[in-house]
Amino acid sequence: MEFDKEINRHGTGSLKWDRFKGMDVLPFWVADMDFESPPEVLAALRERVSHGVFGYTIPPESTVCAVCEYLERQHGFTISPDWLVWSPGLVPSLNLACRAFAEKGDGVMTFVPSYPPFLTAPGYAERELLTVPLLPRADDSGWEIDWDLMESTVTPRTRLFLLSHPQNPVGKAFSKAELAQIGAFCLKHNLILCSDEIHCDLQLGESRHVSAGTLPSEVLKRTIILMSPSKTYNLAGLACAYLVIPDESLRNRYKREARGIITEINLFGYAGCEAAYRFGEAWRQRLLAYLEGNRNRVYQVLGRYSQIRLRPMDATYLAWLDVRGMDVADACLAFEKRGVGLSDGVQFGQRGFLRLNFGCPRAMLDEGLQRMERELSSHA
């Protein structure tokens, strides 16, 4: 099986692997996968290399067309090509959005736990961060939005709502009804909705993504959607992402803020994005089946230990482990000492949780889980 192939990433400048360079620690932290990208993407990149000329590159028409067709086909979101704004990454885009759509001192709201740049972007721009905790359901069947808390947290100076959809790290895919209510909330309080949908093509099992692009027009005109093929097709190093901003004045505000800071993006990014969207679907389906197998393995193994609680996840290859039941001062460090490198929930605004990236060959995952079991059974 293609995803079983173990590829040595040492010496490739891998952020994920070099963090534990020279140590016997397997990395399960940052969100990239240890898989090769689809063969069709590799072929497109080789072809682009063989052209041999790598000058400044504007978005190729064929890539723009592939993105428009993909959004329509995959997410029922019909766009006009001029709604697209390209970016080398969504992190800079989140930061620019805070600057473009809020003034100094204005509020930016988001759920916690949250992908860390959602929590740092407002402060970097001297905007106020307002957080609303997602609530684990009493029966542990998932996560809920506390609508009353949303209402009591929002202020007259709040301008922007940052949504990670599906949600990193809890893996929640917001339902059509929840998304509609978030949209209505933004409309009521005059907020711009920034929906980061980078994980939207990584739905596991029966779950289906509902794009913010399908929200009613009065909400869509105050919505910006952040997208990238990078998570699904493992292309983060190609630095190619894009925003869909339907409203012209919002688009211009964003572009003004990006002026002189974001220039042309990497030409290999366009080639990879286009090939992934045009030809990557069969590979993506195989990937999802493999990730489901990995997710089940994590739940099966760690589910045996009462110190860890796991709630169902709809999407992503990131498991959010509730380790508050572990009798250790620092669970992240305890697992690291056993040779397992995880992300600490503190960075996501939720102490007592760890994030485990299972986007890796099953043999590596099994080795990591065995190491975790050694730690867990030492406290049993």
Q: Which residues bind ligand PLP (CB under 6 A)?
A: 31, 89-91, 115, 164, 168, 196, 198, 228, 230, 236, 241
Q: Which is nearer to ligand PLP, 30 or 328 (CB)?
A: 30
Token representation of residue 110: 């988001």
Least distance from ligand PLP to the Cβ atom of residue 278, Å: 20
Q: Which is nearer to ligand PLP, 79 or 239 (CB)?
A: 239
Count of other CB atoms within 10 angstroms of residue 137:
11
**Cα–Cα–Cα angle for 225, 321, 115, rounded to 5 degrees:** 25
Token representation of residue 120: 């740092």
Q: Which is nearer to ligand PLP, 245 or 376 (CB)?
A: 245
Nearest residue to ligand PLP, using CB?
89
What pairs with residue 131 in β-bridges?
110
Least distance from ligand PLP to the Cβ atom of residue 373, Å: 27
Cis peptide before 156 (omega within 30 of 0): no
Least distance from ligand PLP to the Cβ atom of residue 207, Å: 17
Q: Is 140 left (phi over 0), alpha (psi -120 to 50) or beta?
A: left
Least distance from ligand PLP to the Cβ atom of residue 53, Å: 26
* C-alpha span between 20 and 327 (Å, rounded): 25
Q: What is the dihedral of CA 224, 228, 231, 234, to 10 degrees?
A: -170
Least distance from ligand PLP to the Cβ atom of residue 31, Å: 4
Q: Which is nearer to ligand PLP, 200 or 340 (CB)?
A: 200
Token representation of residue 62: 């064929």
Least distance from ligand PLP to the Cβ atom of residue 357, Å: 9
Which residues have CB under 8 Å from 98's CB, separation 6+?
108, 121, 122, 124, 125, 127, 160
Residue 345: exposed, middle, or buried by beta-carbon count in 10 A (0-12, 13-18, 19+)? buried
Q: Which is nearer to ligand PLP, 202 or 334 (CB)?
A: 202
Q: Which is nearer to ligand PLP, 108 or 198 (CB)?
A: 198
Least distance from ligand PLP to the Cβ atom of residue 320, Å: 12
Q: Are 323 and 352 in contact (CB under 8 A)?
A: yes
Q: Which is nearer to ligand PLP, 101 or 317 (CB)?
A: 317
Q: Which is nearer to ligand PLP, 198 or 323 (CB)?
A: 198
E strand or H helix at 295 = helix 281-302
* C-alpha span between 311 and 227 (Å, rounded): 26
Please measure the distance between the N-terminal and C-terminal CA atoms of the chain and give it in whole angstroms. Answer: 36
- Phi, psi for 242 (deg, rounded to 5): -155, 160
Least distance from ligand PLP to the Cβ atom of residue 241, Å: 4
* C-alpha span between 302 and 225 (Å, rounded): 35
DSSP conformation class of 301: H
Least distance from ligand PLP to the Cβ atom of residue 170, Å: 11
Q: Which is nearer to ligand PLP, 160 or 241 (CB)?
A: 241
Least distance from ligand PLP to the Cβ atom of residue 230, Å: 5
Q: Which is nearer to ligand PLP, 277 or 305 (CB)?
A: 277
Question: Half-sphere exposure (CA, 13 Å, Cβ side) for 163?
Answer: 28
